[in-house]
């Protein structure tokens, strides 16, 4: 049960907990809060909601999802990938779209976790995830060009069309906004990494830009007032929602669910490599589900585990999930103590944070690897998914990428190698194997690959002309599985041989393939006496039986 699992996690985590460990958690939690503050504000704006919504999301996710998480290191909150999905929802349905789809996705995540189906998320190919991530990075980057330039250009149905619009529309950049954005970008690019662990470059850039904005008072757009409450005025109210429109939110909810699960489990995989502590995937999805069901009622946006914040917590010496909770406390204090200052943050400064974050969120190592090694299938899956992400609905993008990668993979594994050979008595004698005859009509065929529906045409074609074959031996050591279509192919081959007085024999059949033959009744029809450990044994037996014709099908692996 999930509760027992969570209780066990708590026992493992806090067994032997001490003051020194708490001090490490405290320092790590405050460090993560410093990193999370500008990101929470930026992603709140980027998702089409408000900076306050992003802050509320980070606080609640830190408390709730952190408490129910499947590992001690996971830090959740608003993320760039999620923002790219949500901005489309806001454009179509308003803030209600975020809240409804977010609640439904939370419910789905909870169900997936309770049913222990978390492992199925891993079935999405890595090239598709990489392409999806790069597409989302482009959406975020393109979506911040307006704030970077301090302009307002017409909206578009997709990020690609929005980008094209900048080359067609006439506008004049506000150089004050550009200056603020460049201050943040340069801070994030030039601030030494050794200092970044203790004082995040993004926070430094935001502070400098905000101080200059207060001093110079340039006419640029600002975040605006930050409500000093966790319960925002704009929040999900089920009584005000038109439940007749609920079906419209199913597809967006599925996208948010898939993205939340993928991001959280990927974050857990990265953190697991850093700490050696394995993520309990189903418990993590339960935590994400509970948090995302709760957050809409406070006016927040959907959350997911964040790799950047999680890695900062680990590198800062965090020991337990108290890091997540302490970081939430730090953000809560900033809401009450720094709200007037945060209200003066230029939107262009947040655009700078998001643009650099978008560039960095690409999986550059994986991209360089697949292109440098010319993995054509992965390159195709990556490119199509990325292009679909910036031109189509995000749900369609990930479905297209997954379908295409699956089709290519199926085409690869569908090919079964069949090499039919005549038996050479001299070679058998050289190996010390004596036969009763010359094996003139015994033929051997080597099968390598799965014998399933996609390979049935190739199988039937290979044995279309049996000639005067009397004993046909199928060497199956290279056949890992057989499905019902494969069974039918074998049954037809057996019947054809039997009708002309021949015998179908098998050698080196895998246990799972033998099980399918038994379930399909072929083991009984063909007879257990026609199954052998090796093709050599089958050849000797075929000759011993005095066959006038022998057909032998050999596998390249015995």
Q: Where in the chain are the domains?
A: 24-235+255-407, 417-544
What's 247-297 look like in SS3?
HHHHHHHHHHHHHHHHHHHHHHHHHHHHHCCCCCHHHHHHHHHHHHHHHHH
The DSSP element (H or E) to which 421 belongs, if any, is strand 417-422
Q: If you classify domain 417-544 with CATH, what class do you get?
A: alpha beta
**Helix axis angle, 19-46 relative to 307-315, nearest 10°?**
160
Strands 304-305 and 471-478: unpaired
Dihedral pair phi/psi, residue 105, rounded to 5°: -65, -40
The H-or-E segment that residue 148 falls in is: helix 145-149
- Please, which residues bridge with residue 419 across strands? 446
Range 281-294 burial, b when 16+ CB lie within 10 A, else e? bbbbbbbbbbbbbb
- Cα angle at 264 between 130 and 195, to 5 degrees? 85
User: pLDDT tens digit string along 150-162?
Assistant: 998 887 878 888 8
Q: In the Cβ-directed half-sphere of 137, how many Cα atoms lie within 13 Å?
A: 17
CA distance 535 to 177: 78
pLDDT by residue for the chain (558 residues), tens digit each? 444 578 889 999 999 899 999 999 998 999 899 889 998 999 998 888 999 999 999 999 999 999 999 999 999 999 988 888 888 788 888 899 899 999 999 999 999 999 988 776 666 677 887 888 888 889 889 989 999 999 988 878 788 888 998 888 778 999 999 999 999 999 999 999 888 767 889 989 999 999 999 999 999 999 988 899 999 999 999 988 888 889 989 988 988 998 899 889 888 887 888 888 989 999 999 999 999 999 999 999 999 998 889 988 898 889 999 999 999 999 999 999 999 999 999 999 999 998 998 898 888 999 999 999 888 878 988 898 899 888 886 667 767 876 776 776 776 676 788 988 887 776 666 666 665 555 667 889 999 989 988 888 889 888 988 777 788 999 999 998 899 999 999 999 999 888 888 889 999 998 889 999 999 999 999 999 999 998 888 888 887 775 444 333 333 334
Written as six digits, the tokens of 208 are: 């400098």
Contact 470, 499 (CB under 8 A): no
Q: What's this model's pTM, rounded to 2 decimal places?
A: 0.73
Q: How many CA atoms lie within 13 A of 457 on its CB side?
A: 3
Biggest CA–CA distance in the chain, Å, is: 103
Q: Which residue has the tokens 């199988």?
A: 459
For residue 477, which of 501, 451, 439 has the smallest C-alpha distance? 451
Distance CA 57, CA 102 (A): 12
């Amino acid at each position: 049960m999930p509760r027992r699992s969570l209780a066990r996690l708590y026992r493992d985590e806090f067994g032997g907990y001490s003051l020194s460990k708490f001090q490490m958690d405290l320092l790590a939690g405050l460090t993560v809060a410093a990193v999370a503050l500008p990101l929470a504000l930026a992603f709140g704006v980027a998702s089409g909601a408000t900076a306050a919504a992003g802050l509320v999301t980070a606080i609640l996710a830190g408390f709730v999802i952190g408490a129910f998480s499947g590992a001690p290191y996971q830090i959740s909150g608003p993320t760039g990938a999620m923002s790219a999905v949500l901005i489309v929802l806001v454009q179509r349905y308003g803030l209600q779209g975020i809240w409804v789809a977010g609640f439904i996705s939370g419910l789905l995540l909870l169900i997936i976790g309770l049913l222990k189906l978390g492992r199925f998320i891993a079935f999405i190919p890595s090239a598709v995830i990489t392409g999806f991530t790069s597409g989302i990075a482009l959406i975020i980057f393109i979506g911040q060009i307006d704030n970077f330039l301090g302009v307002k250009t017409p909206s578009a149905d997709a990020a690609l069309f929005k980008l094209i619009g900048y080359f067609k529309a006439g506008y004049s950049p506000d150089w004050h906004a550009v200056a603020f954005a460049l201050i943040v970008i340069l801070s994030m690019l030039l601030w030494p990494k050794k200092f970044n662990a203790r004082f995040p470059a993004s926070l430094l850039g935001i502070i400098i830009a905000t101080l200059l904005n207060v001093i110079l008072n340039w006419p640029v757009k600002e975040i605006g007032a930050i409500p000093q409450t966790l319960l925002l005025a704009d929040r999900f109210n089920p009584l005000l929602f038109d439940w007749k429109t609920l079906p419209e939110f199913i597809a967006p909810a599925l996208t948010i669910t898939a993205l939340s699960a993928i991001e959280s489990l990927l974050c857990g995989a990265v953190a697991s490599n850093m700490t050696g502590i394995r993520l309990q995937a189903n418990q993590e999805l339960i935590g994400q589900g509970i948090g995302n069901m709760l957050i809409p009622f406070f006016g927040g946006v959907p959350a997911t585990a964040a790799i950047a914040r999680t890695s900062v917590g680990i590198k800062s010496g965090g020991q337990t999930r108290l890091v997540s909770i302490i970081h939430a406390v730090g953000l809560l204090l900033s809401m009450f103590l720094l709200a007037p200052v945060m209200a003066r943050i230029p939107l262009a400064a947040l655009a700078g944070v998001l643009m650099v974050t978008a560039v960095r969120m690409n999986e550059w190592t994986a991209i360089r690897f697949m292109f440098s090694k010319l993995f054509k299938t992965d390159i195709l899956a990556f490119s199509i998914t990325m292009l679909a992400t910036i031109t189509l609905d995000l749900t369609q993008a990930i479905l297209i990428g997954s379908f295409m990668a699956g089709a290519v993979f199926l085409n690869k594994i569908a090919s079964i190698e069949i090499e039919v050979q005549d038996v050479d008595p001299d070679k058998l004698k050289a190996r010390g194997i004596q036969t009763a005859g010359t094996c003139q009509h015994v033929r051997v065929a080597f099968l390598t690959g799965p014998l399933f529906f996609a390979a049935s045409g190739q199988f039937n074609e290979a044995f279309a002309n049996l000639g005067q074959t009397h004993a046909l031996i199928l060497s199956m050591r290279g056949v890992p599985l057989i499905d019902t279509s494969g069974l039918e192919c074998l049954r037809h081959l057996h019947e054809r041989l039997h009708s002309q007085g021949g015998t179908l024999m098998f050698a080196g059949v895998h246990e799972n393939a033998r099980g399918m033959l038994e379930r399909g009744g072929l083991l009984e029809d063909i007879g257990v006496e026609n199954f052998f450990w090796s093709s050599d044994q089958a050849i000797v037996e075929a000759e011993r039986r005095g066959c006038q014709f022998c057909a032998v099908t050999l596998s390249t692996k015995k």
